[in-house]
Amino acid sequence: MKIGIISDTHDYLPNIRKAVDIFNNKNVDIVVHCGDFVSLFVIKEFERLNARIVATYGNNDGERTKLKEWLKELNEENEIDDYLSFEADSLKFFVLHGTNNEILDAVIKSKNYDVVIYGHTHERLFKEIDNVLVINPGECCGYLSGIATIGILDTVSKKYEEFEL
């Protein structure tokens, strides 16, 4: 299974469009969005996405109720919450935005999950910590680092591919 990973879109529509194109071209099954969509109109950019979305709220996502409604209108299987977990190809995933380092560290140290995915820092990370794969796709918007990135994880090979937008 291929899992697309994106975070911190911060309303930057051109890069969201590029990300959706890459996810569709690479035939991802699920897209994990680690939060900070920011404005509701961003959701319309995901209409063309050929995968379900599993997302977390970011610290800049203010209109949570509408955000959840609009995501569900795109696909009833879409999910969004403060944090969530799911399984794919017998791997246990945990997703959060990552505003609290203590919680992030505790989840990783618990070893209850095979893969922990987060955003918020706008800094790319792909690292194995005590047999837990930890991924931060960086920022889709490219505002802070100047480098806009997303990623795709193959759950069978555990290969992670990064894409610069």
User: What is the distance between the alpha carbons of residues 7 and 103, in angstroms, rounded to a whole number?
Assistant: 18
Give the chain's length.
165
Tally the domains of the chain.
1
User: 22-79, pLDDT tens digit by residue?
Assistant: 999 999 999 999 999 999 999 999 999 999 999 999 999 989 999 999 999 999 999 9
Q: What CATH number did the domain enclosing 131 receive? A: 3.60.21.10
User: What is the distance between the alpha carbons of residues 42 and 39, in angstroms, rounded to a whole number?
Assistant: 6
User: 124-158, pLDDT tens digit by residue?
Assistant: 999 999 999 999 999 999 999 999 999 999 999 99
Identify the domain containing residue 153 by its residue range.
2-164
Q: What is the DSSP letter of 52?
A: E
User: What is the distance between the alpha carbons of residues 17 and 46, in angstroms, rounded to a whole number?
Assistant: 8
